[in-house]
Structure 1
Amino acid sequence: MMAPVPDHSAASDDQIEIVGAGPAGLVCAIVLAKANRRVTVREWHKDVGHRFHDDFQGLENWTDAQDVLDELAEAGIEADFDHSGLTEGVVFDSRARTHRVHGAKPLFYLLRRGSAPGSLDRALLAQAQAAGVEVRFNDRVTATSGNMILAGGPRRADIIAVGYVFDTAMPDGAWLAFGPELAPKGYAYLLVNEGRGTVASCIFTGFRDQAHYLAATVSYFERHAGLQMQNARGFGGFGNVRLPRTAMQGGNPVIGEHAGFQDALAGFGLRYAMRTGQLAAESLVRGTDYSRAWRQSLQPGLSAGVVNRFMFNRTGARGLDYLIGKLGANDTRSVLATAYRLSFTKRLVLPLARFRYREPLKDRSCDHVACDCVWCQHGLHDPSGV
């Protein structure tokens, strides 16, 4: 994505097209529309949230001192989607011992993804349309043009999540577990809120065996967290991680996972997606340099995430247990905030981490031949696609 940054200030009255109606694209559209720009969002699926199934996701709240909902409010985005701030949860170590993690402020906001009322995707669509944005569905873009912002979602799968959404009588809570038998190079999680739940294995390799890891995850949480599921419905998702050089393609800003903006350690990408949407919009409105803006705002945290992933890949059970204990012994939000600061030591490790962190994530089990993993079922495999 090597291209000079164009000066859009002289063409500010022209129609701006955004490819993709995910959170990045819709936030970008809302910011532009509120700055009196004419905006069209072009989405090749029939509705928003097509990759999701009303499953719970976390909007992380630790990579910046500012609360993420306040950050959205400053950009003109209302938090009118269903959400709940979680200040505590349980992490299991390698011996299935529980460690309570907690923060004085929310560690993350629990929200729902998909097309259902109350989901993040549905709420952002309504805000965009209320601001005057034209959203076209079933409209696939095959070539870029001027005044276009690319927000088409993941180009490949570095992470997949496979799980169930369900109804339950369980009390609200959040549980996290690690182990190669549950999620190789990743983690398993259970989220319950107001009678609804999501359980999943988030795996970074071994995609062909996703059903095996999901079954092990369900069994684990049944034993250790009292998981009870009614009306379970399967779901799957995937994410793309990379550190872009410019996040420009053919002179157009690229935002969200289309550019690879994703936390390399845990796959939390929502905050990055929406912030890049805001930054791209502001670059068009103000005539500023989008690449410079995201580098200043996001690159330190993204780089720290790459080092975190590199270290995680080389940490054994004992090391992981030590880190879990550290999370539980202190304000977890503060510990995580420190982990995502690009310290002097992490700067030294970064070149090696960038070179090596992806190697263990290359999923040689999946060659896209007779494979039923989430990516092979639903991914965008056309390398020529916008």
Structure 2
Amino acid sequence: MAPAPGSADPKDKTIEIVGAGPAGLVCAIVLAKANRRVVVREWHQDVGHRFHDDFQGLENWSDAQNVLDELADAGVAADFDHRSVTEGIVFDSHAKAHRVHGSKPLFYLLRRGTAPGTLDRALLDQARAAGAEVRFNDRVKIATTNMILAGGPRRADIIAVGYVFDTCMADGAWLAFGTELAPKGYAYLLVHQGRGTVASCMFSGFRDQAKYLAATVEYFKRHTGLEMNTPGGFGGFGNVRLPRTAMQGGNPVIGEHAGFQDALAGFGLRYAMRSGRLAAQSLISGADYTKAWREALQPGLRGGVVNRYLFNQTGPRGIDYLIGKLGSTDTGDALGQAYRLSLPKRLLLPLARFHYRNPLQDRSCSHNNCDCVWCQHGAHETANT
């Protein structure tokens, strides 16, 4: 349909994306490839400012389609360094090792940060190659029309603190649970080609992050032979919530800015990039963004909330039972099933949401005289969005 006389063609309007994280950059790639004028405004001096070349996992179990194929369908190339991981070790409460495995990749191991080969750098290069303009040191104070908001976490419901290091260890992926390692969360160790990441990912106890990290390092030294050379500290954070519309002032909100994050394990990369694609497509086609993300993201997000509720109610014996089940079947299939809203989970959802109605704020941290990751590095001065 031709624009009305005297009105501007929507294709001629510049679309501003606030934030150059994975959500914002995927959104920019999709829009630019559809010949839309795109400006990405990032208030830090580079992409990946929250990361330090640490390993992360791009999960591959929440959808039948391979996540790399999903990116390809959006026009995003997997030209970042990545390695498929089909097996790993999970320790139960008695430190007994259980091998978990999948017939397809459970996740893709990738790097985050500013360096070449990281996810962040690759997406930036693709966005620019597609024709998007990316401005750094450009802080948005007030949201206006024709914006997509991708500013990252607004608060900290989860923090991860750990080390990146060189090592002579063999490649592998290890996971451990325990309140002494990561309250209401988990500890992990990832090693690939002489580089490693070890961390405590916690949902509570932020103020005591140093204690939990020290316990995590000692645990993996004892049970995996962890060897760290030239370790460098890092920390990260994320927020989780179930938004109603993911719209602010008529603008789509994507990624962690919207709270799109798995409430159980904190995996948010796939949600972030998918939401960026959905927002872009809504502007290109005129589709309803709220309807689109609710269809594509809401079932998994709700499943994660129920899973988090069940995890918090389950003691060590229950977790040990679940670990044993994961090791006795195809782990990818089992995890995929865990995020589907079966009838029992649908019945539990109102109760889980009731317990989840308030932000997952860490009650141990008042944000006064605290050196936790969020207090030291969080975006406490946010734009009026």
For normalisation by structure 2, the TM-score amounts to: 0.97
1:326 aligns with 2:342: no
Residue aligning to 2:178: 179
Q: What whole-Å deviation, never above 9, does each CA across 1:44-85 have from its counterpart, x for those lacking one? A: 000000000000000000000000000000000000000000
Give the letter for the 2:127 counterpart: A
SS at 1:162's partner residue?
strand
Residue aligning to 1:52: 51
Q: What whole-Å deviation, never above 9, does each CA across 1:63-116 have from its counterpart, x for those lacking one? A: 000000000000000000000000000000000000000000000000000000
Distance 1:114 1:281 in 2: 24
* 1:364 CA displacement: 1.5
Distance 1:356 1:216 in 2: 29
CA distance change for structure 1 residues 219 and 360 in 2, over 3 Å: closer, same or farther?
farther
For normalisation by structure 1, the TM-score amounts to: 0.97
Is the 1:81–1:120 Cα contact (8 Å) retained in structure 2?
Answer: yes
* 1:11 CA displacement: 1.9
SS at 1:179's partner residue?
coil
1:29 aligns with 2:28: yes
Is the 2:11–2:37 Cα contact (8 Å) retained in structure 1?
Answer: no
Is the 2:143–2:383 Cα contact (8 Å) retained in structure 1?
Answer: no
Residue aligning to 2:214: 215
Residue aligning to 2:350: 351
CA distance change for structure 1 residues 340 and 194 in 2, over 3 Å: closer, same or farther?
same
Residue aligning to 2:70: 71
* 1:283 CA displacement: 0.1
Identity %: 77
Distance 2:356 2:254 in 1: 23
Residue aligning to 1:303: 302
Distance 2:8 2:260 in 1: 26
Distance 1:175 1:105 in 2: 18
Is the 2:240–2:360 Cα contact (8 Å) retained in structure 1?
Answer: no
1:107 aligns with 2:145: no
Aligned runs of 1:1-386 on 2, under 5 Å? 11-357=10-356, 361-382=360-381, 385-386=384-385
Give the letter for the 1:134 counterpart: E
Unaligned runs of 5+ in 1: 1-7
* 1:345 CA displacement: 1.1
Is the 2:142–2:383 Cα contact (8 Å) retained in structure 1?
Answer: no
Distance 2:234 2:313 in 1: 30
Q: What whole-Å deviation, never above 9, does each CA across 1:102-151 have from its counterpart, x for those lacking one? A: 00000000000000010000000000000011000000001111110000
Q: What whole-Å deviation, never above 9, does each CA across 1:299-326 have from its counterpart, x for those lacking one? A: 0010000000000001001000000000
Number of aligned residue pairs: 379
Distance 2:212 2:359 in 1: 18
Is the 1:112–1:119 Cα contact (8 Å) retained in structure 2?
Answer: yes
SS at 2:367's partner residue?
coil
* 1:360 CA displacement: 9.7
Is the 1:9–1:284 Cα contact (8 Å) retained in structure 2?
Answer: no
- The range that moved more, 183-192 or 340-349, is 340-349
Distance 2:178 2:188 in 1: 12
Give the letter for the 1:334 counterpart: D
Give the letter for the 1:109 counterpart: Y
Is the 1:19–1:151 Cα contact (8 Å) retained in structure 2?
Answer: yes
Give the letter for the 1:94 counterpart: S
Is the 1:150–1:254 Cα contact (8 Å) retained in structure 2?
Answer: yes
Give the letter for the 1:13 counterpart: D
* 1:13 CA displacement: 2.1
Residue aligning to 1:3: none
* 1:12 CA displacement: 2.9
Give the letter for the 1:160 counterpart: I
Unaligned runs of 5+ in 2: 1-6
Give the letter for the 2:244 counterpart: R
